[in-house]
Structure 1
Amino acid sequence: MAAQESIYNLLPRLQEKPVKPPRYISTFSQSVKLEREQNKAQCKTMGPAKVAVPSPKNFLKKHSKEPTFPAREKEQESKKLPALSVPRRTDRPVMGIQSKKNFIKTNAVAAIKGLPKKPQHIYVDRRQGDKYLLDTSGLVPKYMKKKDYGVTPKYVIRRSEEMKKAQEEYENYVLEHLKKNAMKQLSDEERKCLLQGLKKNWEKVYHEFQHLSVEIDTMRKKLHKEKLELQMKQLEHDIDVIEKHKVIYIANE
């Protein structure tokens, strides 16, 4: 018995596929085919090759297939019964009474002048031939036959007009707001004055920065130095922007 954990179990093993035996073929297959063709009945499904044509004299006549019954003997006349009594089983109704209306002619005229019967709209959903009415199925687009088909509804027109009005009012409001907050362009003199003022401020901050002590040993001196450096950087940035751009706009507050 080999142990469950072994080095030999790590090696891949080839799986041997079982070899199928060759398919069996009978040696009498050809002889069986010949016997079947020889003993095959001719005209078994399609009928005889020639069919006797019926003569035109042997046509189907009216009431020829109805059963004939022997004639009944005349029954004795029964005594008259009162008008309200129930008639007997042997009593016969009075025959030969004709009405003024000729139903045969009227039916013939109605059949000639009448419109042909329209076939029902049906659909088949299975191969067995199950039929269903098409008009009540919801598959026929009846909405296309409506009078207002293709006409834009009134509420859609009203809503579109309201949206246009709201859009126009919004655009007018935006234009008024832009006109109020329109930006003002600086003239050359104002630009030069602004640039000179920034440079003077930078000189003041730089002069104050030069008067700082060489040794910064306290926290207060350190913070004061950082503040001056930030002011100088901001002023340098503003001076550089104004010197690069000749046209400057200022927003109205």
Structure 2
Amino acid sequence: MPGYNPCPEQESIYNLIPRYQAPTPKQALYRSKHKGKVDPKHYEMGVKKVQPAATFGHPYGMNSTSPDQFLKSHAQEPLLPEPHKPSTEKMRLKAPVPLKTEVPAMGLHSNKNFVTTNAIQAILSKPKQMPEDFRWTLKPEFGEVPQYLIKNKKQIAEEKASVEEHIRLRQQQDHDAHVTQMSEGERQQLLHDLKTKWATVNTAYQKLPFSLDTPAKMKRKETFEKQLTEIEKDVQLLEHGSTVLVLQD
């Protein structure tokens, strides 16, 4: 017998042989004992009176569309009113075309001498009055400056003066905000320091040699002279008045 194992609880080579499995029998398809196509009005479902389409919807076949109910072409377009004759007729810009029954006069001849007639009309007609040439130099305001230019020039001058006044006031405010007055003690102390500085520079200047034979000596002499001149100007400025204003950076 294939797959026979005398000792199934023990390890055996027979366990490697696949065992036979019987197929499971297939059950029969379920079919309800009730009909699939029923009319809901035949069943009350626990209520006294069942209204149409109250529980299961419309009866079978009532949801289908009737063949004669379909969307036709131009069915959703708006209905326009019937055209009628306008109340105001359009004015004709040209003369109407003559009808086919209107026959023009033909075969007419005239004995009029158009050359003589035109000559007589030209002789008897008055000459055309030509307008006289206007002389612009005879106008009363010729050569004068137009009023609008005078007005614009005055307006520009006023605006310029206003801007300059605004700038001057702004500069004056900035200047007053950064200017302080030096006290008398500070002025005397500064004057004393300047005189001391002048004495020190003058002593160094007096010690220079008489012979300035090198560029370095000449440059040093010019530097001392420049410093002495600046200090003398500052001392003279401080001694000139008692009020000293200091501009702060």
State the TM bucket, normalised to the shorter chain: 0.3 to 0.5
TM-score by length of 2: 0.35
TM-score, normalising length from structure 1? 0.34
Q: Which structure's CA Rg is the greater one?
A: 2
